[in-house]
Structure 1
Amino acid sequence: MLYWALVCLVIAIVAGVLGFGGIAGTAAGFAKVLFFIFLILLVISLVVNFMKGRGPKI
C-alpha cells in the first residue's frame, strides 16, 4: 500500500510540473489517503503483535 501511495505521489509531482493542476491535486489527495490507511494498518498490526506477546523474529 505504501508503494501505491508513492506511485500516486510521483504522478502528482509530474502532473504538477507539466501544468495539470486538477490531476495533480487528485493524485496527491489519493496518495494522502493511501498513506494514512497504511499508517492505521501499521499501528493496528503493531498493537496486535504486542498483545500476543511475540516480538520480532531476529
Structure 2
Amino acid sequence: MVFACNKAVLNHGTKQVALKRKENGVHQIPFHPSAAGTDITTEGKGKFTLISTEESAA
C-alpha cells in the first residue's frame, strides 16, 4: 500500500529524518499508516524506521 502523507518522521540509523510534503505534490511513501515502529527499506537509501505520520487532507 502506498500511503500519501504530508509528513513522515523516520529514524535512519542514528539520524531522524522528516519527509515533508513537497510544494508540487504529496510524497508517496510506501508504508501503511498504522505501521509506526516498523522498518522500511527504500531503494538506494537503506533502512528506515517509521516513527509517525501525518495524514494529508482528503
TM-score, with structure 1 as normaliser? 0.20
TM-score, with structure 2 as normaliser? 0.20
**Greater relative contact order (Cα < 8 A, sep 6+):** 2
| Structure with the higher fraction of residues in helix conformation | 1
| Structure with the higher fraction of residues in strand conformation | 2
